[in-house]
Amino acid sequence: MTRLTPDVLRMRSSQLSLRSLAMEQSQQRTAAPPTIDEAPTVPLEAKDLRPEHFTQPYLDFMTHNPTVFHVVDYCKQKLLKAGYVELPARDSWTGKLVPGGKYFTTRNGSSIIAFTVGQAYKPGNGIAMIAGHIDALTARLKPTSVKPTKEGYVQLGVAQYAGALNETWWDRDLSVGGRVIVKDPKTGKTTVKLVKVDWPVARIPTLAPHFGIGMTGHGNRETEMVPVIGIDNSDLLGEKAESEKPVGKPGSFASTQPPKLVKLILSQLGLSDPDSILNWELELFDAQPATVGGLDKEFIFAGRIDDKLCSWAAFMALLHAKRAPTDGVIKLVALFDDEEIGSLLRQGARGNFLPITIERILESFCSSNSVPFGPGILGQTYARSFLVSSDVTHAAHPNFTQTNLPGHSPRLNVGVALCVDASAHMTTDSVSMAILDRIAELSGCVNQRHMIRNDSRSGGTVGPMLSAAMGVKAADVGIPQLSMHSIRAMTGSLDPGLGVKFYKGFLDFWEEVDLEWSH
């Protein structure tokens, strides 16, 4: 790996000036800005990628894709534009896959696997994989989300997903989005539509300290953290509140939701009949756009950084990965839902989405190469593969230095961290560290180290469950951040690009590095 020398740091700090970069670009208005969040015609070498070119595309991605469904749709659109072919899970894949091809498949609209097949690929060759999670702490609408109006306030029934509705959710500007199941009354066809309201519609107000009840800690999540979404004072006139007069047929889904919200969602979707909505999975999200911050714009402040940071960087790395006629491996990125709640759902990493996708890829290639498909070829593939489990990690904190572990608490704007846990909450070991440090050396990256102190609790990742399910070598690699699991977190402004650089380096060089080992 590239050593962290004064020269490397100087280079990084000269790249830091996003302000200069912005000025540079505004002076050259005639030239189109580089669209580096699209697949380039001729990919650069990993060492030539400039991390600062990924800052603004990352901010845009974060602002416009607040829910897991929006992230999968974003990936899908980018992949289709880059010439990837969708492989629907319900169809047969036999005869559809060819060396040199680019494909993706999704599950539940909330997990996605994309991969490219090397032009020299043969069944039994390895797979360079990166896996991460795109779900984040959130507050989901309850099945019956309508609440009785209190003191003229219209409120919304929500339930926490993972550790949301924690103390950072007070006084935030919250909006609503997700997926809606819609039936067309004319055709009888049922479809899924995505929706996202572009102004804040909800807020969980604190109680002023004057009342003697401290609200900086947890409030009761069922009774004291109920979002307000509107005002209806019609009861003052002795009338039944408008907000309590259900829309839709009695017993319908719409009749169990706040009427004004049903009308808003209908208008967002260009629909009018409340009964065309069969159901929805809507959630609240912090509506504040992602932004750069700091005197020299060194930081990114955004919601949902865990883990739409490593996931986005890994996805960009696949779009920017090099493709050569001699490529003999499959390069794959898998982004999962439900990591924050244990991954044990069909779209989670503990489900069979990744193993069965690999089995189906292999089955298709075995059939076209007249090679018998079975445990033999599958075992051979897994033994020749490598998994990078990517999830954000904790950066060193300036105000709680007692939580930092010297030599193991990564800095912002330096590079990814290889995450080690002695009790195997992470997959990284001496073999996988040696491989990834060699990758860093070839791609001009600095690998930091992360380990939690013995007196702190380590979080988990999708790494152990996936590498155990497939038997592949693995390592955990994270981009550092602060304020993990807060509604508004931060990272370095170069960190998304430094992530892309490292993950691209892995996809570009893993086959070469694997050959350096005497197996």
Is residue 307 a contact point for Zn ion (CB under 5 A)?
A: yes
Reported residue count of the chain is 519
Site string for Zn ion, 335-374 (x = CB under 5 A): ----------------------------------------
Alpha-carbon distance of 176 to 144, in angstroms, equals 16
Supply the minimum distance, in Å, between the C-beta of residue 481 and Zn ion. 10
Structure tokens at 13: 């700090």
Alpha-carbon distance of 9 to 15, in angstroms, equals 10
Supply the minimum distance, in Å, between the C-beta of residue 453 and Zn ion. 18
Cβ closest to Zn ion, residue 135 vs residue 363: 135
Residue from 52, 283, 286, 306 touching Zn ion (CB under 5 A): that is: 306
Cβ closest to Zn ion, residue 391 vs residue 495: 391
37 to 82, 128, 259, 270, 475: CA distances (angstroms): 11, 21, 39, 30, 26
Pick the piece of the chain touching Zn ion (CB under 5 A) from 86-94, 307-315, 419-427, 493-501.
307-315
Supply the minimum distance, in Å, between the C-beta of residue 200 and Zn ion. 24
How many of the other CB atoms lie within 10 Å of CB of 244?
16
Looking only at residues 57 through 116 of this chain, which bind Zn ion when binding is defined by CB under 5 A? Answer: none
Could you give the maximum distance between any two Cα atoms of the chain, in Å? 84
Looking only at residues 437 through 476 of this chain, which bind Zn ion when binding is defined by CB under 5 A? Answer: none
Cβ closest to Zn ion, residue 264 vs residue 341: 341
Cβ closest to Zn ion, residue 307 vs residue 476: 307
Supply the minimum distance, in Å, between the C-beta of residue 110 and Zn ion. 15
In a 13 Å sphere around the CA of 48, the CA atoms on its Cβ side amount to 8
Q: What is the 3-state secondary structure (H, E, C) of 90-141?
A: CCCCCCCCCCCCEEEEEECCCEEEEEEECCCCCCCCCEEEEEEECCCCEEEE
Place of tokens 């800052």: 55
* Total residues at interface with Zn ion (CB under 5 A): 3
Pick the piece of the chain touching Zn ion (CB under 5 A) from 5-13, 169-177, 384-392, 473-481.
384-392
Supply the minimum distance, in Å, between the C-beta of residue 309 and Zn ion. 9
**Strand-strand pairing, 393-394 and 480-481:** parallel
Pick the piece of the chain touching Zn ion (CB under 5 A) from 46-54, 264-272, 302-310, 372-380.
302-310
Supply the minimum distance, in Å, between the C-beta of residue 487 and Zn ion. 13
Check residue 445 and report its DSSP letter: -
The string of DSSP letters for 235-255 reads GGGTPPPGGGS--SSTTSSGG
Cβ closest to Zn ion, residue 23 vs residue 344: 344
Place of tokens 């009774």: 223
**Strand-strand pairing, 417-419 and 448-450:** parallel
Cβ closest to Zn ion, residue 363 vs residue 391: 391
Supply the minimum distance, in Å, between the C-beta of residue 431 and Zn ion. 24
Are 118 and 125 in contact, with CB atoms under 8 Å apart? Answer: yes
Is residue 135 a contact point for Zn ion (CB under 5 A)?
A: no
Check residue 184 and report its DSSP letter: -
Pick the piece of the chain touching Zn ion (CB under 5 A) from 235-243, 276-284, 291-299, 305-313.
305-313
Pick the piece of the chain touching Zn ion (CB under 5 A) from 87-95, 388-396, 490-498, 509-517.
388-396
Q: Say whether 383 sits in a helix, a strand or coil.
A: helix
The residue number whose beta carbon is nearest to Zn ion equals: 307
Pick the piece of the chain touching Zn ion (CB under 5 A) from 148-156, 201-209, 387-395, 465-473.
387-395
Supply the minimum distance, in Å, between the C-beta of residue 133 and Zn ion. 6
Cβ closest to Zn ion, residue 262 vs residue 395: 395
Are 275 and 254 in contact, with CB atoms under 8 Å apart? Answer: yes
Alpha-carbon distance of 421 to 300, in angstroms, equals 27
Is residue 391 a contact point for Zn ion (CB under 5 A)?
A: yes
| Interface residues toward Zn ion, by CB under 5 A | 306-307, 391
